[in-house]
Amino acid sequence: MSYGLLLSLHLLAAIAFAGTVFFEVVMLEGVRRYVPHEAMRAVERAIGNRAVRIMPWALLTLYAAGIGLAWRYRAALSQPFSSSFSLLLTLKIALAASVLAHFSMAMIWRRRGTLGSRRSRRLHLSVFCHVLAIVLLAKGMFYLRW
């Protein structure tokens, strides 16, 4: 598959995932105090149900395209401390692996019925911070040099 196509798929899936996380952390948390508790729980449940159907496909696309893109830089990844690019790419991949672990735990907790609102908020905030760092690293890889 061509690099351009992989990059496009990766970016579109990243927008879908990061946009969803942004919406849940910034937008939903901002309206929580203005919406009755039961109504908010219904909205969260509906969004969660929709996300469970869509996010696995977005993440599959995101990670599959990411692996395809990383293959091009396998020499740089084999020596993560050899350049700023290699180090930043390695950090970006480590954070992406952590996001995948977060998502996997969320799915396990959801199936077990132990994904309460407090745990969910903390998980979303952690993923949001990871996503912000990944975006900054993605840009920094091509612009930061030391």
The model's pLDDT over 46-87, given as tens digits with 9 standing for 90+, comes to 988 898 899 999 999 999 999 999 999 999 999 999 999 999
pLDDT over threshold 90, residue 4:
yes
Mean pLDDT throughout 27-54? 89
Long-range (24+ apart) CB contacts under 8 A made by 102-106 are 102/126, 102/127, 102/130, 103/55, 103/59, 103/127
Q: Is the dihedral of CA 103, 1, 89, 77 positive or negative?
A: positive
* pLDDT the model gives residue 117: 79
- Could you give the angle at the alpha carbon of 102 between the alpha carbons of 23 and 79, nearest 5°? 110
- Burial of 146 from C-beta contacts in 10 A (0-12 / 13-18 / 19+): exposed
Lookup result for tokens 């969320």: 106
The whole model's pTM is what?
0.87
